[in-house]
Structure formats: C-alpha cells, structure tokens
C-alpha cells in the first residue's frame, strides 16, 4: 500500500506529500476492521474465606474498595446456589447434588456436568422467567475460568459451557501468572476459584497476585462468613474487596443506598455496566466507591456497630413484646388495680421509642452497655417526670415522635436507621434502606394520634380538616419512593388518606359513586408515585420489580407474591409474634367493649390502618404489633383518665 501511495503522489511537493501521507494513514486506521482500543479486564476471585486480617495482608500498599455483601440465597442454600445467584444476577436456590463436576471436551471447552439438571431445577422454581447467565450475557467479551469447583457456573453460558480455562489450580506464582496472562489475552473476564484454606503461604501468594493485576477490575468474594464474624445473628454478612483503578474507600450501590453494603445481585449489575450492557430489568446495580482515609478501620467499626444495633433491636423489641403479654394477662383478668402499672409500662415503651430515635444521632452503639444504660435511665426519668406532672404522655410523645421521624427522613435518614425501631436487619438482607415495617407502623399510628391530639385544640371544622389533610399528605410523601421507600407502607398511608376523607367529608354522603371516586383517586396517586420513581436516576426496588414484571410477565409477580405470602404466614405463626398477636387480640377484645365518645373514630382508624399494614407487608405483623401497642396504651390511658371520653 505504501509503494502504491508513493507512486500516486510522485511529483507532489514534499510538504503537501507529508500531510497527505499522514491523512491517508489515519483513514486506513479508522476504516480498518482491526480494533486498537485497550479493552477493560476484570478478575473475579472466589475464595473460601476472607476475614479482616486477610484483607489487611493482601491489600497493603494498594487502593481498594471494601464493604459487606449478604451471601444469603434462596433455599436450598449452599455453594452451588451462591455461585448460581452471582451468575444469574438474582437470588436463586439449586439442589447441590445436581452439580457433578467439570471436564473438558476435545476442543478444550470446559463443560459443567449436571448443568442442565441445575437449569431445570431453577426453572421449576422460577417459572416462565428467562435466566440469562453472566457468561451468556458477556460471551462476546470472552469469559475464562481457572479452578476446580462450582464457581465455574459464574463463567458459564446458558448451556453450561466455558470456552477456555483450566479445571485445576496450582498454587504457584509462575503458574497462576502465566495462566492469567494467557486467558486474559483471550478474554476480558476471568473467574478464579482460590482456596486459602487457612494457609499463610496462599495469603502471600494472593497478595502478590493482586499486586501484579491491580490495574484491572478485581472482585474478591468469599463463599462463606469468616469464623470471627459468625454470630447467632450473622450467618450471611461477609466482607468483600473491589479494586477498581485508584479508588480507595467504602463501596455502596443503589440497591442498598448504604455506605459499606452491596447485594449479591450487584456483582452481575456492575459487570454488565462495565461492558455497557444496559438493562433496566436486572436486579443488581453498579457499585460505587466512597473515598475514605482508613477504609479498613471504618469496615471494622461498621461491623461492630451493626452487630450491636441488632442486639439492641432484639432487646427492645423483646421488651415491647413482654409488656404486651404482661398487659394482656391483667386486662383479661379485669385487674383494674394493675392498670396504673400497665399505663406506666406502656408510657415507658413509647418514650423509649422516642429516646431511641434521638440516640440514632449518637455513636453510642459502639458501646452496647453504655447505650443501654443511657437509654433506659433517660426513658425512666422522663416517664416518672411526666407521670408526676400528669402530662398526657401518649399523645404528647406520639406527636414529638412523629415530628422527629419526619425531620429524620427528610434530613438525616441514617439517624433513623441507627435506632432500634428504624434499624434494617442487614444480616437478614431483605431491606437495606427506607422504612422497615416497624417504624412505618410507628409513623402511621403517631400521625393518627397526633392529628386527633392537635385537632382537639381546634374549634373550626375547616381547620381540623386541613390539619388532617396535611398529616396524611406528609405520610404519603414520607413513605414514597424518594424517602421512606416502603411500598406497602405507601399503600397503607394512601388507604389511611381515603379513610380520613371518608370520615371527615363523606361520612354523611356515602354512595357507591363517592367510593368509586375515592378508589380511582387512590390509584391515580399510586400511579404517579410509580411514574416519578420510573423517571428517577436511582429507581426503587418497587419500580424495578414492575419493570421485571413487564419484561418477564406475570410469573415474576406470582413468584414474589408467593415469597412474601409465605414469609408473612411463617412469621405470624412463629413465636414470639404469634404469642404477642394473640395477647394483643385478647387486650383489644376487652378494652373495645362499649367504647364510645370522642376517641371512637381515632381508635377504629388505628385498628383498620394497622390491619391493612399487617396484610400488605411480609413482616406486617410488626407493623400491627407496634400500632396496636400505641392503641392499647391510648385505651388504658383513657381508662385511667375517664374524663377525656
């Protein structure tokens, strides 16, 4: 080509000749089929263990992102289900006996024996949902595997095949480097199964390996929770590492919106995003790294705080349940001489919820003994003070609690998450951000009590209606996707809104037409909430779920409905929830007899809203328990203060 070009340009002045030559070379490069772009490489390292000591050893002198990932999958749980969940980009369960091992065919393709049985098992559990495995989605990028176990599923296509790789591993630096270089020259993604096996030599080898390939995207993901992080309450949360260029800090994603936490689905989402495979129907999201000066120390403190918070949550939830059972016994026995003690205990719990929310702004969770001492002592002092001054504890504290929740969710949501009533059980992994069903119930019941309390000072009916409308609209906003992100709570708040409109405006003009208008109005508000969620950059789980229903069909809804319904039934029937619910029903049966006067509407509004919240959420019994606690407290207070009725 050069000689032909030289012949054509013979006689052309030298300056023009040089310019034309450069332009011709550029055109040849642009029009050539050969790509000269540097392709981004990614390495997924699946280890048998990864504790804080190992992280410190292997990341010395390199920038890395770290945090926690919940390893929980659907049942039957195990390594095969874990690897399949990463590969599928959604939590799945596969029988481990279907996996029969690895072998190579004559072309060097790795074949996963028993793969079709695993896929059949999966499709039987999740009917009519198309599963596109990571290896299938990124096949054109090239995916290789080195290892000797079921981690190969992560690299496999939908037929259980991997184009290139090794079905053994040698823990030798030269061997690992040679094989990695060879397979990364053929593909952009390498899945490496690496067993540390409590061997310090393998830790040092892994450190050297990471040092050599640190300019690539490297995920280090353990298959199990480290021994020193295993507690009765933690069988799922494990640390992971994400090396991505020069970013050093704590990882997070839109799935969690919590610094230091990602989900198992986010591995799929991040790899898809790296290679520009945009897809709104996937569950996982991209992973970001938030810069921190000492991310390893932050990781240690985050785990300690999270462990302490769940112990605090269990302790105070247990206290609430114990008070409910104690109250039910004496209410059933009609021991009115005990009602003053019950009133005192109920008030203590309500004040304690408020104090717990206030303490969410502190860092006292690091020291659980100090936290409990300050919390309980402060709650006790305030309770005794309010009783001595004969202050209306239930309504005053409910109003203050409501205001504190609203302020927190708008400006400092982390403070709510750091309270025992607002804590999301990160070890369970069902919810990472937004309102859990406990604080959702507290928000709604406090809004009802506070609204009736404020309206008690007003004489003008129009003003009362305006106040009621403001309260309910705030509830809807706070529970919407932009703030509380609790879809069941949002629907419950919306129904509460319709109840208030019916009671205040349509009570005397009831008709089928007015009821239909109310229902249509509620559907319109819900649709608008979903629409704005769809347009937002960080979509909630609810809208992503609707997108998946659109993509995969009604079977996606049926699958999720089954999971939620089973969870609701199971938790409702299991102690301690079943015991507390039975106790509260006994208390209500006695206390609601002959109820009348000013609080009748208030009581039944709380009861109906609590029942709706119970039915609409997988842990709806917690919503009902807390709303009923406030209701019983209100009824007992009025028994002790009969002049109010």
Q: Note the pLDDT tens digit of each residue in 582-620.
A: 999 999 999 998 787 668 889 999 999 999 999 988 889
Helix axes 620-640, 577-591, angle to 10 degrees: 30
Report the predicted TM-score, pTM, of the whole model to 2 decimal places. Answer: 0.84
Ranking 154-168, 295-309, 529-543, 558-572 by mean pLDDT, the lowest is 529-543
Quote the pLDDT of residue 245.
Answer: 78
Closest CA to 224 of 33, 392, 77, 75: 77
Residue 589 CB neighbours (<10 A)? 12
Alpha-carbon torsion (533, 535, 541, 545), positive or negative: positive
With CA atoms as reference, report the closest residue to 439 among 588, 343, 313: 313
DSSP line for 491-520: HHHHHHHHHHHIIIIITTS--HHHHHHHHH
pLDDT digits 0-9 by tens, 55-104: 999 998 899 999 999 999 988 989 999 999 999 999 999 999 999 999 99
Q: What is the mean pLDDT of residues 241-256?
A: 90
More confident residue, 490 or 630: 630
Cα angle for residues 358, 361, 363 (degrees, 5° grid): 120
Q: pLDDT tens for residues 30-55?
A: 444 443 334 789 999 999 999 999 99
% of the chain at pLDDT higher than 70: 87
DSSP 75: S
Residue 520: pLDDT above 60?
yes
Alpha-carbon distance 222 to 70, whole Å?
A: 11
pLDDT of residue 573: 92
pLDDT single digits (tens) 331-368 = 999 898 899 999 999 999 999 999 999 999 998 888 99
Q: How many CB atoms lie within 10 A of CB 523?
A: 11
Q: What is the pLDDT of residue 527?
A: 77
Sign of CA dihedral 606, 607, 608, 612: positive
Residues of each domain in the chain carrying CATH 3.40.720: 42-293
Query: Distance between CA 212 and CA 90 in Å, rounded?
Result: 32
Q: Scan for tokens 């079977």, then name that residue.
A: 555
Bigger pLDDT: 290 vs 501: 290
Window from 3-17, 149-163, 323-337, 459-473 with minimum mean pLDDT = 3-17
Provide DSSP, 530-552. HHHHHHSSS--HHHHHHHHHHHH
**Residue 538: what pLDDT?**
59
pLDDT in tens, 195-237: 999 999 999 999 999 999 999 999 999 999 998 898 778 989 9
Range with the poorest average pLDDT among 23-32, 164-173, 418-427, 627-636: 23-32
Distance of CA 294 to the CA centre of its chain: 25
Which of 289-293, 311-315, 558-562 has the weakest average pLDDT?
558-562
Give the number of other CB atoms < 10 A from CB of residue 568: 18
Question: Which residues, other chains included, contact 388 with Cβ-Cβ below 8 Å and sequence gap of 6+?
Answer: none
For the cut 50, the answer to whether the pLDDT of residue 241 exceeds it is yes
Give pLDDT, residue 644.
46
Q: Which range (154-158, 189-193, 232-236, 421-425) has the least confidence?
A: 232-236
Residues with Cβ within 8 Å of 451's Cβ and at least 6 positions away in sequence, in order, are 467, 468, 471
- 42-293 folds as Alkaline Phosphatase, subunit A (3.40.720)
> Does 2 score more than 90 pLDDT?
no
Q: What dihedral do alpha carbons 487, 490, 492, 496 form, nearest 10°?
A: -170
Distance CA 479, CA 486 (A): 6
For the CA atoms of 156, 158, 161, 163, the dihedral, rounded to the nearest 10 degrees, stands at -70
Do 600 and 572 form a contact (C-beta atoms < 8 A)? no
């Amino acid at each position: 080509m050069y000689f032909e070009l030289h012949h054509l340009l013979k006689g052309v002045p030298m300056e023009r000749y040089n310019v034309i030559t450069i332009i011709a070379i550029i055109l040849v490069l642009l029009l050539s089929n050969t790509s000269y772009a540097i392709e981004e490489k990614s390495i997924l390292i699946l280890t048998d263990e990864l504790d804080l000591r190992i992280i410190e050893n292997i990341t010395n002198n390199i920038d890395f992102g770290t945090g926690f990932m919940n390893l929980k999958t659907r049942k039957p749980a195990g390594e095969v289900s874990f690897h399949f969940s990463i590969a599928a980009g959604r939590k799945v369960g596969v029988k481990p006996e279907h996996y029969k091992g690895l072998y190579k065919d004559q072309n060097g393709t790795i074949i996963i024996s028993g793969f079709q049985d695993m896929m059949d098992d999966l499709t039987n559990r999740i009917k009519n949902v198309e599963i596109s495995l990571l290896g299938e989605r990124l096949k054109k990028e090239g995916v290789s595997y080195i290892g000797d176990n079921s981690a190969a599923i992560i690299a496999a296509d939908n037929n259980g095949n991997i184009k290139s790789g090794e079905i053994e591993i040698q823990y030798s630096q030269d061997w690992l480097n040679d094989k990695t270089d060879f397979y990364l020259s053929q593909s952009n993604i390498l899945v490496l199964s690496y067993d540390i096996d409590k061997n310090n030599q393998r830790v040092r080898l892994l450190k050297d390996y990471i040092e050599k390939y640190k300019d690539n995207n490297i995920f280090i993901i353990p298959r199990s929770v480290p021994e020193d992080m295993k507690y009765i309450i933690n069988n799922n949360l494990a640390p992971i590492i994400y090396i991505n260029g020069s970013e050093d800090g704590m990882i997070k994603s839109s799935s969690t919106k919590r610094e230091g936490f990602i989900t198992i689905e986010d591995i799929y989402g991040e790899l898809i995003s790296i290679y520009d495979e945009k897809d709104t129907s996937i569950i996982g999201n991209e992973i970001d790294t938030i810069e921190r000066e000492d991310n390893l120390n932050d990781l240690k403190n985050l785990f300690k705080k999270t462990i302490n918070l769940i112990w605090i949550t269990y302790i105070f939830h247990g206290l609430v349940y114990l008070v409910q059972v104690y109250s039910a016994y004496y209410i059933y026995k009609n021991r009115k001489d005990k009602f003053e003690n019950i009133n005192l205990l109920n008030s203590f719990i309500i004040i304690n919820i408020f104090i717990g929310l206030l303490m969410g702004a502190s860092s006292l969770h690091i020291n659980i003994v100090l936290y409990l001492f300050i919390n309980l002592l402060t709650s006790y002092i305030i309770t005794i003070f309010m009783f001595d001054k004969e202050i209306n504890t239930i309504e005053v504290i409910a109003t203050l609690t409501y205001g504190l929740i609203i302020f927190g969710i708008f400006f400092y949501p982390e403070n709510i998450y750091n309270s025992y009533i607002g804590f999301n059980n990160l070890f369970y992994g069902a919810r990472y951000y937004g309102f859990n069903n406990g604080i959702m119930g507290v928000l709604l019941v406090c809004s009802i009590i506070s609204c009736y309390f404020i309206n008690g000072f007003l004489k003008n009916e129009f003003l009362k209606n305006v106040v009621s409308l403001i309260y309910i609209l705030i509830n809807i906003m706070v529970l919407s996707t932009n703030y509380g992100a609790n879809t069941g709570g949002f629907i419950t708040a919306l129904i509460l809104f319709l109840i208030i409109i019916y009671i205040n405006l349509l009570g005397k003009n009831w008709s089928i037409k007015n009821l239909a208008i109310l229902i249509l109005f509620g559907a319109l508000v819900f649709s608008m909430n979903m629409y704005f969620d769809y347009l937002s950059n960080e979509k909630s789980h609810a809208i992503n779920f609707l997108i998946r229903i659109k993509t995969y069909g009604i079977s996606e809804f049926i699958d999720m409905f089954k999971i939620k319904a089973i969870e609701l039934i199971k938790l409702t029937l299991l102690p301690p929830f079943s015991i507390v619910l039975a106790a509260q029903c006994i208390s209500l049966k006695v206390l609601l007899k002959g109820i009348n006067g000013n609080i009748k509407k208030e009581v039944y509004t709380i009861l109906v809203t609590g029942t709706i919240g119970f039915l609409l959420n997988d842990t709806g019994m917690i919503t009902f328990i807390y709303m009923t606690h406030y209701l019983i407290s209100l009824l007992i207070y009025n028994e002790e203060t009969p002049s109010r009725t």
